[in-house]
Chain A
Amino acid sequence: MYNPTYTFIAVAIGAAVVFALFAFYYAARTGQLQNLEEGSKVIFDEKEPVGQPTDAFPGAQPGTVPAKSDSTKS
Chain B
Amino acid sequence: MNRMPLLLTGIFLTFFSAWLGLVAMPYIHLGRFKPQVDDVTREETPPPFSGEALQGATIYAANGCIYCHSQQVRPLEAGADLERGWGARRTVARDYMRDKVAYFGTSRTGPDLSNIGARQPSAEWHYQHLYQPQVVSKGSIMPAFKFLFEKRRISGQPSADAIKMQPPDEAEPGWEIVPTREGKQLVAYLLSLKRSTYPLPEAPEETPAK
Contacts and interface: CB of A to CB of B under 8 A. Distances in A.
A–B interface present (Cβ within 8 A): yes
A27 B28 contact: no
Contact of B10 (A6, A12, A23, A33): A23
A32 B10 contact: no
Nearest to A10: B20
Given A5-B28, A19-B13, A27-B1, A12 B6 contact: no
B17 A16 contact: yes
A44 interface: no
A1 B201 CA distance: 15
Given A5-B28, A9-B25, A32-B2, A20 B20 contact: no
A6 to B, nearest CB: 7
Given A27-B1, A30-B3, A16 B16 contact: yes
Interface string A1-33: 101011001001100100110010011001011
Contacts of A13: 17, 20-21
A33 B20 CA distance: 30
A65 B16 CA distance: 48
A13 B25 CA distance: 12
Interface in B69-125: none
Interface residues of B, number: 15
A9 B20 contact: yes
Contact of B28 (A6, A19, A20): A6
A3 B10 contact: no
Given A13-B17, A16-B13, A32-B6, 16 more contacts: A1-B29, A3-B28, A5-B28, A6-B25, A9-B20, A9-B21, A9-B24, A13-B20, A16-B17, A19-B13, A23-B9, A23-B10, A26-B6, A27-B1, A27-B6, A39-B1
Interface of B: 1-3, 6, 9-10, 13, 16-17, 20-21, 24-25, 28-29
21 contacts: A1-B29, A3-B28, A5-B24, A6-B28, A9-B21, A9-B24, A13-B17, A13-B21, A16-B13, A16-B17, A19-B9, A19-B13, A20-B13, A23-B6, A23-B9, A23-B10, A27-B1, A27-B3, A32-B2, A32-B6, A33-B1
